[in-house]
Amino acid sequence: MKNDAIDRVIERYVEERKHETRQVAQEHFLAYVYLVCGGEAEQFMKNTRSMLAYYVNSLSLFDNPFKNTQVCWLLFMFGWFWFCLYMIADETLRPLGIINCTGTLIFGKELWKLVWTKWIETNVLIAYYGEIIDLIDTHLLPSNTSATT
C-alpha cells in the first residue's frame, strides 16, 4: 500500500508539473504528502526519495536512445535505403526501388520521431524526479540538522 501511495504522489507531481510552475507543483506535492501521511510524512518522504533514486538510476540506463531496438530497425532502414538507391539506378529494378525507397523514408521518419520523443520524455521525467529529490532534501535537511545539534 505504501508503494502505491508513493507512486501516486510522484505521478501527481509529474502531471501537475507539466502544467504548472515548479513552485506551485512543489507546494501541492508537500500538501498532498502531509494529507496522505499525516504524522509519518518524514518517513514517507525518505521512502519516496529512495524510490525516486531507484527510478532515476533505472531510467538513466535506458536514457541512451542508441541502445534501443528501434535504433536497430532505424539502422536497418538506413541500409535498406541505400540498397533501394542501388535498385533505382538499375533500369530493370527502378519501379521496385522507387516504391521501397518511398516506404523506407516514410517509416524511417516515423521511427526516428518515436525514438526522439521517447528520449526527450525520459529526460524530462528524470528532471522532474530530480526536482522532487531536491525538494525532499531541502525539506528534510532542517529537521536532520536540528536533531543532531
Residue 144's pLDDT is: 53
What is the domain partition of the chain in residue ranges?
2-148
Of 64, 52, 43, nearest to 129 (Cα)? Answer: 52
Q: How does residue 107 score in pLDDT terms, banded at 50, 70 and 90?
A: very high
Residue 142's pLDDT is: 64
Average model confidence (pLDDT) across the chain: 84
Residue 86's pLDDT is: 93
Q: pLDDT tens, 56-103? A: 888 877 666 667 777 788 889 999 999 999 999 999 999 999 999 999
Query: What is the H or E stretch that residue 72 is in?
Result: helix 69-89
Is the pTM value of this prediction over 0.75?
Answer: no
